[in-house]
Structure 1
Amino acid sequence: MKRIRLAATLAAAVLALLPTTAQADVTYPDPRPITGQQIIHDPTVSHLKNGQYVAYSTGGVIGARLSKDGRQWDDAGNAFAEPPSWWYEYNDTGDPWAPDLSYRDGTYWLYYSVSSWGSNHSAIGVATSRSGLPGTWTDHGKVFSSEKTDTWNAIDPGVIRADGKLWMAFGSYWTGIRMVELDPETGKAVPGATVHHLATRPDAPYAVEGPYVVRHGRYYYLFASYDTCCSGVNSTYRIRVGRSTSVTGPYVDSTGKPLLEGGGDLLLAGHGRYIGPGGQSVFRDKGRDWLAYHYYDAEDNGTPKLGLNELSWTKDGWPTVR
């Protein structure tokens, strides 16, 4: 009996040293309260020159939401009235995924993916608009593509200007996250561009995707979604981050572990009703950085919804969510 009591005491002591789910949950803040049309997947958000906020997403023909204050969001149709014909080369429904919205040289640029589930026969396309509003986009075709013989998957674009050049991070499974240089005039991949490798997981299926790179101080920060999306309350998505002094890497986490070896600091994970946060992007508004993502609402049958959290930065330069 003494041995049993001693074993129980030791087990309790060990468990006391381990974080409980409840303790872990409180380390992650809830998303900013919003109203209106909250349903979204893989959001990219921007504060447009006309004063409105826009969010584009997977779903529809690149689904659109508009807001006057970043809190009340209204359905605004789609970026395009109908899919460009070349999209049907990659799936039967002309279904686009995971857009990325950016602004440079007086023009809004909308990058997006076309593919089919479980295939790396994929392409990234680009469209432009002077206003950034839904219904105003002109498509310019393929930016970069991948085939089943490639070891990467050309979806989930994230564009950044760095050191006078234009770059696009991309990737989903198939050995992880990659990057290529773009021609700033056309917005398309430089012919023969080197495909840089930024992040992966140690083992197949290399479950990391949705890269987004931002500059803060002297570092570039790579945000990515790890594990499994698109399964409602069973989704295990979480957002990790690493940094580098070069946009093409190598990226490491705060312990120095390379993201090419499975590293990455955990920035945001599921907690409470907010399951599987991911599909993230970052936007700057009124001098503050914001993380946009989707989560699956456990109190609404796992419906994907828009999450917004302000990003703050520690003294040693690492992002945290508020």
Structure 2
Amino acid sequence: MKRPRLATLLTAAVLALLPTTAHADVTYPDPQPVTGQQIIHDPTVIRLNSGGYVAYSTGGIIGARTSKDRVQWDDAGNAFATPPSWWYDYSSTADPWAPDLSYRAGRYWLYYAVSSWGTNHSAIGVATSRTGLPGTWTDHGKAFSSETTDAWNAIDPALVRADGRLWMAFGSYWTGIRMVEVNPATGKAIPGATVAHLATRPDAPYAVEGAYVLKHGGYYYLFASYDACCAGVNSTYRIRVGRSTSVTGPYADSTGKPMLEGGGDLVLASHGRFIGPGGESISQDKGKDVLTYHYYDANDSGTPKLGLNTLGWTRTGWPIAL
């Protein structure tokens, strides 16, 4: 990993001294330079036990990228050679969205959503692999689902462990971000488990999605993408965060405004050519937290591309992109 530039270090130092406010006027950092296959959407990245990195993303049959150094990325096909048949129950084109990649119990776990635009007839699937590489995944079917009678949307999964238990954040429009407990043995939601409510917006269409929960110090941090994606240079995605001492909330920003009332500190927003950052996930690499996301490149007709930034932490315990 390259050392931060002097300007980045100075920005971090200044931010550490700022009062804890959700409205600090800051300049957002550019993503770290990457080469090779940069086109990606809703990325999730992990450093493999065997060495190198793999990224999975929306598009095709869960698109795959590999890298030796987290800088040069190569196209590696898809997670699956063919779509599992049950996907067609939720998408006529069997097009999966927003994967989440993690490692536990000697296996890599891949969660993903299958749905169609504009409906909450959706499902989250789960697959496992010993290596984490494309072409090695065994699909285990649905981990959780939603129907048009539900007040939530089962897309954008993200797993987190808390106090010896396993939880999955998920959700989108249809009242925002939710969370359900998962059986660690099966990787699937516990039948009848309470669906907690973590974040929403005050007004329809409740535009908050793409959740990721990270434990740091004594808090759980809920990152989410606010506003609209998928419109190229017209996208308005931005990444916000709140925190809680409990994984199921309540989450609030640095001013104390609850995320259930639209609160959330800005972590990253559009700047320069980097439009609509979101679809985020976070991984640990060499002792650092790494924020992974897509942005739309204003210098390349709004093409979605890979964004990577190290996360720093202020002395008051709030994340900043470096």
TM-score by length of 1: 0.92
Deviations 1:183-218 (A, max 9, x none): 000000001010000000000000000000000000
Residue in 2 that maps onto 1:44 = 44
SS at the partner of 1:171? strand
**1:159 counterpart letter in structure 2:** L
Does 2:149 correspond to 1:149? yes
Shift of residue 318, structure 1, vs aligned partner: 0.3
Residue in 2 that maps onto 1:69 = 69
Shift of residue 60, structure 1, vs aligned partner: 1.0
**2:84 counterpart letter in structure 1:** P
Question: In structure 2, how many angstroms separate the alpha carbons of the residues matched to 1:139 and 1:71?
Answer: 30
Deviations 1:247-300 (A, max 9, x none): 000000000000001100011000000000000000000000000000000000
The aligned runs of 1:84-103 (5 Å cut-off) are 84-103=84-103
Does 2:267 correspond to 1:303? no
Shift of residue 235, structure 1, vs aligned partner: 0.2
SS at the partner of 1:126? strand
Shift of residue 132, structure 1, vs aligned partner: 0.2
**1:80 counterpart letter in structure 2:** F
SS at the partner of 2:172? coil
The aligned runs of 1:206-225 (5 Å cut-off) are 206-225=206-225
Shift of residue 119, structure 1, vs aligned partner: 0.4
Deviations 1:64-102 (A, max 9, x none): 000000000000000000100000001111000000000
Question: In structure 1, how many angstroms separate the alpha carbons of the residues matched to 2:311 and 2:198?
Answer: 22
The aligned runs of 1:192-231 (5 Å cut-off) are 192-231=192-231
Deviations 1:206-250 (A, max 9, x none): 000000000000000000000000000000000000000000000
Residue in 1 that maps onto 2:6 = none
SS at the partner of 2:153? coil
SS at the partner of 1:247? coil
Deviations 1:89-126 (A, max 9, x none): 01111000000000001100000000000000000000
The aligned runs of 1:1-322 (5 Å cut-off) are 27-322=27-322
Shift of residue 52, structure 1, vs aligned partner: 1.2
SS at the partner of 1:260? helix
TM-score by length of 2: 0.92
**2:100 counterpart letter in structure 1:** D
Residue in 2 that maps onto 1:4 = none
Question: In structure 2, how many angstroms separate the alpha carbons of the residues matched to 1:81 and 1:321?
Answer: 36
Aligned residues: 299
Shift of residue 177, structure 1, vs aligned partner: 0.2
SS at the partner of 1:150? coil
Question: In structure 2, how many angstroms separate the alpha carbons of the residues matched to 1:77 and 1:265?
Answer: 36
Percent sequence identity is 79
Gaps of 5+ in 2: 1-23
SS at the partner of 2:41? coil
SS at the partner of 2:233? helix
Shift of residue 129, structure 1, vs aligned partner: 0.1
Shift of residue 320, structure 1, vs aligned partner: 0.1
